[in-house]
Chains A and B, each alone.
Chain A
């Protein structure tokens, strides 16, 4: 709020009561204006805090207790004991390791595939719009359906397409999802998320400053040189945005795992494991809460990096 300066020039330095009343009126008006601007955002803000932030504080509290929901005894405050036990918890470590592998592989592969697709689509050819529509579709498909579909009609050894192709090539078909559970989930994730990455990169490619590209061409740069030295730097924020959004969603994948591999070990990530250990029947709410907090901290680290990127984008453009 700007300082309200009372004009003192006319009255030899002493503000009159009139001046003071006016200054107060201006201040009141500015304050009212400030609230008028703030008011519309409040309902959404309060709702979001109530439904997302308050429960998080509860989780934080649970994680410091030995609470099991299936016993009547009152929950006991046990400090950081749950966290201390994490390093010795083999199941937790496995799930965490799966989470890391799954997220990194899915994000990187979909980013690579998506960028490739975007580059192919960023040129005029017959049926461009049609192919783009086809390529977008996997992202729209319900994750449960995507999982089922791949599991049954692609991965299945008797009537799946992959087995059929392998047979045709003279190999034995295998039960892909059982033998390579992690890879199976990652394949489906990449299939669903490459289109998303493609669209973000495509937005970047088509939003390029055309005059810079033309200038490069006039200066005699080759197509590849132009891409590497001009397009790629301009694309960077979009690649970062895609990585960020992809990571945020993919770190909490649940649906695909539930449908494709179920409770099978080998593809159980942290969110899945946490749900299993708490409301899924495990009932150790205290311990599972500690797991959750670890996931949240990991996400916060990613988010922090990501937010800095987004913040730079906003600064540059406003």
Chain B
């Protein structure tokens, strides 16, 4: 099913009168811009002086990059932007790689050569997503404390891997299921090993899907706040914790906070824009295929 690639041929729901179409088009534009407005304003505020930002909203100002350089400066003992960015980078990278290493073989076993009762296993993975984090946070906190892992990057890597794994298995299975069965059989007859099969036959076909899945894992891990603040409130913490701390330490300095927020958000927003079609297809079609 080619989602998004094909323009809908059938008549749109709200009729096809030209004037109506015109009005609806304009309406959609207005709503789209309204939805985006808070983010637009965030970026604008990031370029303002504090005094301008904390008075009545205006577009009439001299843009400055000072706020961006201020928030990225070393803050003397407190969690700095560079540190938090580095922590986030490594935690997100390693957990995403781990997720993929675990999820790709699992997706293979669920889609390409389905084991018996593969549906039950898939449901188990999905059902762990239904387990609220508060249902496990206390034991995890205690185990982490006893293993002396509180405030380390390791504990977040472990948890983010577990958090994203069901989602990745779910999405990858739907992408893997699109590989024709005969292709796998042909490679078996051609004498391909399991690893060779995954590497030379399957991955080239599902590469875009794998990339989209990885990207979604990156986004969720990058944005995660609850574990980070509960288990890792100090030294080795991540970008969301840093943004939150900016609120605490800088008080209500809107321009500085805006600049910080823009820096924190930009990487995943860009990534999401690039991969939007496939990501959503994987999410929605995971259930349908």
Is any CB of A less than 8 Å from a CB of B in the complex? yes
Known: A142-B239, A241-B284. A279 touches B12 (CB 8 A): no
How many Å from the CB of A23 to the closest CB on chain B? 20
Q: Is B226 part of the binding interface, using a Cβ–Cβ cutoff of 8 Å? A: yes
B46-76 near A? 1/0 per residue, CB < 8 Å: 0000000111110000000000000000000
Q: Helix, strand, loop or mixed for chain B's interface?
A: helix
Q: How many residues of A contact B (CB 8 A)?
A: 116
Q: Is B105 part of the binding interface, using a Cβ–Cβ cutoff of 8 Å? A: yes
B28: which of A120, A136, A156 is its contact (CB, 8 Å)? Answer: A120
Contact indicator A191/B38 (Cβ below 8 Å): yes
Contact indicator B28/A213 (Cβ below 8 Å): no
How many Å from the CB of B166 to the closest CB on chain A? 7
Contact indicator B4/A255 (Cβ below 8 Å): no
A106-122 near B? 1/0 per residue, CB < 8 Å: 00000000000101111
Q: Is B289 part of the binding interface, using a Cβ–Cβ cutoff of 8 Å? A: yes
Q: Is A76 part of the binding interface, using a Cβ–Cβ cutoff of 8 Å? A: no
A208: which of B10, B15, B35, B134 is its contact (CB, 8 Å)? Answer: B10
Chain B interface extent, by class? 35 or more
A184-228 near B? 1/0 per residue, CB < 8 Å: 000000010011000110111111101001100100000110110
Q: Which one of A14-22, A79-87, A175-183, A299-307 contacts B?
A: A299-307
- A306 CB contacts on chain B under 8 angstroms: 130
How many Å from the CB of B20 to the closest CB on chain A? 10
Q: Of residues B15, B219, B280, B289, which shows the largest number of chain A Cβ atoms within 10 Å of its Cβ?
A: B280
Question: How long is the Cα–Cα vector from A58 to B143 in the complex, in angstroms?
Answer: 10
Q: List 24 A-B contacts (CB under 8 A).
A: A39-B105, A48-B162, A51-B161, A123-B8, A123-B14, A125-B21, A127-B29, A132-B32, A135-B32, A143-B225, A144-B223, A148-B247, A150-B38, A153-B38, A200-B280, A203-B3, A206-B6, A207-B1, A213-B11, A223-B12, A258-B244, A270-B134, A296-B132, A303-B127
Question: How long is the Cα–Cα vector from A139 to B261 in the complex, in angstroms?
Answer: 15
Q: Is B235 part of the binding interface, using a Cβ–Cβ cutoff of 8 Å? A: no
- In the complex, the chain B residue whose C-beta lies closest to that of A240 is B287
B14: which of A59, A119, A202, A252 is its contact (CB, 8 Å)? Answer: A119
